[in-house]
Amino acid sequence: MSSDAFYNELLPEINATIDEFGTSFVVKTPGSYNEDMSVSPDTERTVQGVVADQNFQFPLGSIGSSGSQGQNASWSNRKQVLLKAEADIKESEHLVFEGNAYPLNKAQTIKPANVVLLYIVDVTR
Q: What is the pLDDT of residue 65?
A: 47
Question: Which domain CATH number covers 19?
Answer: 2.40.10
pLDDT tens for each residue of 22-40: 999 999 998 888 888 888 8
Q: What is the pLDDT of residue 44?
A: 95
Domain count, the chain: 1
Q: Give the integer Cα–Cα distance in Å for 107 and 51.
A: 14
In this prediction the pTM is 0.78
Question: Does 69 fall in a domain?
Answer: no
Residue 46 lies in a domain: yes
Separation CA 27–CA 74 (nearest Å) = 34
Q: Which of 95, 124, 108, 92 is nearest to 24 (CA)?
A: 95
pLDDT of res. 64: 47
Residue 114 placed within a domain = yes
In a domain, 8, yes or no: yes
71 has pLDDT over 70: no
Does 61 fall in a domain? no
Provide mean pLDDT across the span 74-99.
92
Rg (CA), the chain: 20
Give the number of other Cβ atoms within 10 Å of residue 95's Cβ. 23
Predicted local confidence at residue 82, as pLDDT:
97
How confident is the model at residue 36, as a pLDDT?
87
Q: Could you read off the pLDDT of 11-22 as tens digits, one per residue?
A: 999 999 999 999
The residue range of the domain holding 107 is 3-31+39-56+74-122
| Cα–Cα distance for residue pair 77/56, rounded to 1 Å | 6
For residue 92, the number of C-alpha atoms closer than 13 Å in the C-beta half-sphere is: 7
- Please tell me the distance from the alpha carbon of residue 88 to that of residue 45, in angstroms, as a whole number: 11
